[in-house]
Amino acid sequence: MHGWLYSSKRSMGSRPRLQCECMMRLIRLIASSLLPGCIILGIAHNGHAGSRTVRWCEYDPKRTCVAGEYATVIEVPIPNGNYVQSSTPSCPSNDFSVQGNRENFVVGIVRKSSQKWRKEIRNSAGSLNDLVSSRDYTDIPSPSIPGFGGAEHAVCSALVAAIPHDAQVQGVHLGFTDAKGTRECKPSAECEYARFIAPPNVRRIQLLSRPGIQVVDAFFMNWSHDRNRIAWIAVFYSFKTGEMPKAISPGPM
């Protein structure tokens, strides 16, 4: 493995439906003007984001095309939260700074999504977020009034990308997009009232009576009171089968 890579190659934020739709259009316009040649992923208006798997050299035109090298990108809308004064807010219900808590949370998402996997999941790639409810991966604080006490919480969300079980991960990019544009965000660093809590994790998970699955996950916090974000994770890997990994989509096992 060549170590973790963090960059801002991605583009692509939501409470009221109208606000969400307007934000999506604005973000696509900004991304298309700032990042020509980049792959813009479609975002559904149901609170879920798009995902796509492409050849690594399509994601990064400067990279020489090599057979069996791919990039899987998922993007997840994160709503804005309450106004907070702290620069280190916590998540409302889960302490995701603890590695074991993150792992248990991801296993829960894998278990819930497994009812919708197709039988060829071992050779598939995509977003597990799209196979579960947003309540299953997002921790949203209760509304609060500034200056009237109460805990200061961020909106926290897990991003869980599935890649082929036998793929070898070469690197991961993390970042987000909002009305100001697209930027990288390195783990643990504050990025304009946002943060990825820890470095991404690569996990092979085996459920009882289900095919094994390999996932790459990251946890994102947004404590901007007026900016929705689109958090994204791009996973680069080699997969020596000669075929593009199949897209994850709901269906019978």
So what's the pLDDT on residue 207? 79
Q: In whole angstroms, what is the distance from residue 92 CA to residue 81 CA?
A: 11
Q: Which of 34, 20, 21 is nearest to 10 (CA)?
A: 34
- pLDDT tens for 26-78 read 444 333 333 333 333 333 333 455 799 999 999 999 999 999 999 999 999 99
So what's the pLDDT on residue 118? 67
What is the distance in angstroms between the CA of the first residue and the CA of the last residue of the chain?
Answer: 32
Q: In whole angstroms, what is the distance from residue 138 CA to residue 91 CA?
A: 10
